[in-house]
Amino acid sequence: MEGRQNDDRLTAYGQSFPSRLLLGTARYDSPALLADAIRVADPAMLTVSLRRQLSGSKDSGQAFWNLLRETQRPILPNTAGCLTAREAVNTACMARELFQTNLIKLEVIGDEINLQPDPFGLVEAAVELVKRGFQVFPYCTEDWVLCRRLMDAGCEVLMPWAAPIGTGQGPRNPRALRELRERAPQIPLIVDAGIGLPSHACQVMEWGFDGVLLNTAVSRALDPVRMASAFGNAVKAGRNAFLAGPMIVQDVAVPSTPEIGRPFRSASPLSA
């Protein structure tokens, strides 16, 4: 069993990762907290973004860059905030130039209230990015037809949401998520966004999802480092439970202690 656990790695686009947790780098109160959270969560990848430099923060990008390099973790740049396929493709091209990676977390947002992915823009951008040699990790909904279109576009990983970004609600549509897992058994599925608690992460891993990507649930916890550790353990626990093969749920009680040989089988009632 130990060997099986050690061999159990997340594989995406031919790359193998020892961890099944992907961690975002935003909204930490300090770089030190981020660095400590990364250390204890032991994530497979770190998500990052691209932004114009704000006035008055001349070297913040450089400090963040140094922090990333020190962690020695693979970088998964995102196209966060892009509202069109064109914006997303342009941002991805800039990310590739800056981070020297073909990996891209593709976000095309279709609604600025719930930050829901735009399925049409997502597929359009995925087609173009795959054509340009990117390895696309699309942030999508659990809609089966959308997921199929993304796979047809050449995406070898899908990242369905649990709930809208930053809400921490946990899986809003468990049935559809589980159906997606059943209908797409071969493709790595990483649940991205909306995870709030380690139990949410554990739950989707028990359902057979391949990984979890989260950010706010760690960075906005009262103790982000402790929460990062909790999520690391939850993802491992859920994965191990999935591999172990959960028992089949029964409709009626089934005694766990053997009935055979129980003493006083024919004793009279106490009141007799």
Partner 1 sequence: MDVIVNGDTYPLPEPPTLAALLRSLSPSVPFVVARNDEVVPSRAYEACHIDSGDRIDIVHPAAGG
Q: Is 164 in the site for partner 1 (CB under 8 A)?
A: no
| Least distance (Å) between residue 36 CB and partner 1 | 15
Is 105 annotated as catalytic? yes
Positions in 134-153 near partner 1 (CB under 8 A): none
Please answer whether residues 160 and 192 qualify as being in contact, where contact means their C-beta atoms are separated by less than 8 angstroms: yes
| Closer residue to partner 1 in complex, CB, 134/242 | 134
Q: Is 216 in the site for partner 1 (CB under 8 A)?
A: yes
Q: Is 56 in the site for partner 1 (CB under 8 A)?
A: no
| Closer residue to partner 1 in complex, CB, 50/237 | 50
Query: In this structure, what token pair is assigned to residue 90?
Result: 């342009």
| Closer residue to partner 1 in complex, CB, 95/204 | 95
Q: What is the DSSP string of 84-133?
A: SHHHHHHHHHHHHHHH--SEEEE--BS-TTT--B-HHHHHHHHHHHHHTT
Report the Cα 56 to chain-centroid distance in Å. Answer: 34
| Closer residue to partner 1 in complex, CB, 181/215 | 215
Stretch touching partner 1 by CB under 8 A, among 6-14, 56-64, 202-210, 226-234: 56-64
Q: Is 93 in the site for partner 1 (CB under 8 A)?
A: yes
Tell me the C-alpha distance between 81 and 78, whole Å: 9
Instruction: Kindly name the residue from 58, 105, 131, 236 that is annotated as catalytic.
Output: 105
| 271 C-beta neighbours (distance < 10 Å), count | 4
Q: Which residue has the tokens 């390099």?
A: 69
- The angle at the Cα of 211, spanning 85 to 62, to the nearest 5 degrees, equals 60
DSSP β-bridge partners for residue 76: 47
Q: Which residues are catalytic?
A: 105
The site for partner 1 (CB under 8 A) is made up of 24-28, 34, 47-53, 58-62, 64-65, 68, 77-78, 80, 86, 90, 93-99, 165-166, 193, 215-216
